[in-house]
Structures are given as C-alpha cells and as structure tokens.
Amino acid sequence: MFFQSAYTDVTPAEALVMIQEEKAVLTDVRESSEYAESHIPGAVLLPLSVLSEKAEEVLPDPSVPVLVYCRSGVRSVKAAKILASMGYKEIYNLKGGFLAWPYERT
C-alpha cells in the first residue's frame, strides 16, 4: 500500500512564491503573543492550541491549499497532521519555520 505524507515541506523561497501567487492560505500556528510580536505579512492566526476547535471557522474550505508555519517547524508539523486528519487535502509546512524566514516580516 502506498503511503502519502499528510503534508509537503517547502523552503522559504518556495513558500514566498506560493504567497505571492496566492496559491495557499498562509496560516501561523503560533500563539497570539508570538503573532503580535512579528509574523509573515498576510498570515492568518490559528494557534495550534485551538486548531482542532477553530480550523473550520478560519479555514472553511478543506480543498483550498494551506501553508502552515510556527517558530521553528515543530508545531506546524503537528498542525499539518491535525489538518490532514480533519480532511484538509493540500497542506504545506514551512521548513524551519519563522526562524528560517529571510523575507519581510510584520
């Protein structure tokens, strides 16, 4: 049986292209205090701590691609797996998280 990963890791450069071309909903899964301090422009906040309860509200269409990130990539992997278990079809994880993001920050 072929096993398909629940998500695909993308580099910051690949993520930037996805964001610029609006190919995915950029989703920050850190806590609100981290988001308020700094985040990638255009990101919606959906903390891992409330992801299961709030995902359908913040990300209503499970067929729309989602690009998740956190501080270093650990929480976003957990978030990607949870989203996949909830029926989201196309999930991308920013490899290295916000720490690896060399581009504009808000």
- Cα 14 to Cα 18, 32, 48: the distances in Å are 6, 25, 23
Active-site entry in 40, 55, 68, 70: 70
70 assigned to active site: yes
Which residues partner with 45 through β-bridges?
A: 28
Six token digits for residue 57: 């509200």
Distance CA 9, CA 37 (A): 25
The token duo for 7 is 């998500």
CB 56 within 8 A of CB 95: no
Question: Which residues have a catalytic role annotated?
Answer: 70
